[in-house]
Amino acid sequence: MREHLSKGLGFSKEDRDINVRRIGYVVGLVAKFEGVAVVAAISPYQAIRDELKQKIGNFIEVFLDVPLEVCESRDVKGLYAKARSGAIGQFTGVTDPYEPPLHPDVVLKTHQETLRQSVDKIILFLVNKGYLEAHQS
């Protein structure tokens, strides 16, 4: 998304809002034509998430509730290090806030659970809401 849809945007609140709105626009188009979109975006502000939930409607919010130190240890692009050195300003969790979701549909603690456990939580939610049929293994 950042490479094509939002190329040239920085990490300011305004740029992040534009990025998330653009992602939401594409997701809304997919949903309009009865498609399914799965998006892994850093969306640090509650107001924008609420705005997109209203526009898209069938919106499932999955919150990866992971400590900042774990996020930094997983950062293959070195963005946290750049933010800590001052090379990147207004960086979520370092010099800019992250507003945790108030009522996420699914909460994943990927530093405490296995990938399988996290996937199972999402699948169980989708089954319970009628998006998927229960499957016997």
The residues annotated with a catalytic role in the active site are 43
Distance (Å) of CA 58 to CA 17, 32, 34, 102, 105 = 20, 10, 10, 17, 12
CA gap 1, 24 in Å, rounded: 11
CA-closest candidate to residue 57, choices 76, 79, 34, 74: 34
CA 64 to chain centre: 8
HSE-up of residue 1 (Cα within 13 Å, Cβ side): 16
Distance (Å) of CA 91 to CA 3, 44, 117, 122, 136 = 18, 10, 30, 28, 44
